[in-house]
Amino acid sequence: MFGKGILRGLATTARHFVETYIDDVKRIPSRYAFDRRLIKQPLDEEGIFTIQYPEEKRVLPEHFRYVPMLLFDVETGEDRCTACGICAKVCPPQCIWIVRDKDEKGKPVPRAAEFYIDISICMGCGFCAEFCPFDAIKMNHDYEIAVYNRYPDLVLDKDELTVPTTYYAQLYPTAWEREEKAREEERKKKEARAKAAAAKKAAAAKKAAAEKK
Ligand code: SF4
Ligand code: SF4
């Protein structure tokens, strides 16, 4: 029937309109009486009331991504980045620059001396985080980065990009748990391999000593 789609559309709009008030009423008095900054609109709510940003903010899903951040491992006390350069290679708009660090003899070491990302060019694709073999670069949730000057304010250096792993764990609890499990398994495998190699070496030494006699 002509106009059926229009009626269905209007019914959906009316439903959302009513649900908006239901969601809002459920939040009284918290939405209006207490600290409004704590009020969020979860993704599972049906109504779409206007969020009074910046006082109110939407709850972000774990895999929300804005611009990258570099991880400082609080457990080891070191940056995770080894300056391998993979992220810079895979970055589609080529907005990552890395300078590898050197030791006192001038030999390159697996550590970044400088690390820059031009976040005015970054398109938030997450390829850098996806391809990093050391879980050293992840996508930050912080989207409040407006500045007056594009250069140099939006070219973030290593210090500005670096966050502790505890911050990452807080933003990405599921991914953190999964990665920690994988890291633990890898540690155990490494230990088992080292033990097996040591046992093999000891057996070979024993055999050589027995042959000498
Ligand atoms: S962030 Fe990851 S991929 Fe990029 S240079 Fe560092 S270790 Fe390599
Ligand atoms: S998120 Fe994408 S565009 Fe941004 S730095 Fe990473 S790879 Fe480059």
- The binding-site residues of ligand 1, defined as CB within 6 angstroms of any ligand atom, are 81-87, 98, 132, 134, 136-137
Residue 209 to residue 170: CA distance in whole angstroms: 56
Quote the pTM value: 0.81
pLDDT tens digits along 76-101 = 999 999 999 999 999 999 999 999 99
**Sorting pLDDT into bands at 50, 70 and 90, what band is 112?**
very high
Mean residue pLDDT of the chain comes to 90
> Ligand 2: does its nearest atom lie under 6 Å from the Cβ of 115?
no
Is residue 147 within 8 A of residue 120, CB to CB? The reply is: no
pLDDT tens digits along 183-199 = 999 999 999 999 999 99
**Sorting pLDDT into bands at 50, 70 and 90, what band is 43?**
low
**Sorting pLDDT into bands at 50, 70 and 90, what band is 37?**
low
Evaluate if residue 46 carries a pLDDT over 90.
Answer: no
Domains of the chain: 1-59 (no CATH), 68-171 (3.30.70.3270)
pLDDT given for residue 25 in this prediction: 77
Q: If you average pLDDT over residues 150-175, what whole number do you get? A: 96
Distance 77 CA to ligand 2 centre (A): 26
- Which of 71, 81, 161 to mutate for ligand 1's pocket (most ligand atoms within 8 Å of CB)? 81
Evaluate if residue 40 carries a pLDDT over 70.
Answer: no
Evaluate if residue 39 carries a pLDDT over 60.
Answer: no
Locate the ligand 1 atom nearest the alpha carbon of residue 83 and give its number. Answer: 5
- Which of 64, 116, 123 to mutate for ligand 2's pocket (most ligand atoms within 8 Å of CB)? 123
Evaluate if residue 157 carries a pLDDT over 60.
Answer: yes
Evaluate if residue 179 carries a pLDDT over 80.
Answer: yes
Atom 4 in ligand 1: residue holding the nearest Cα: 87
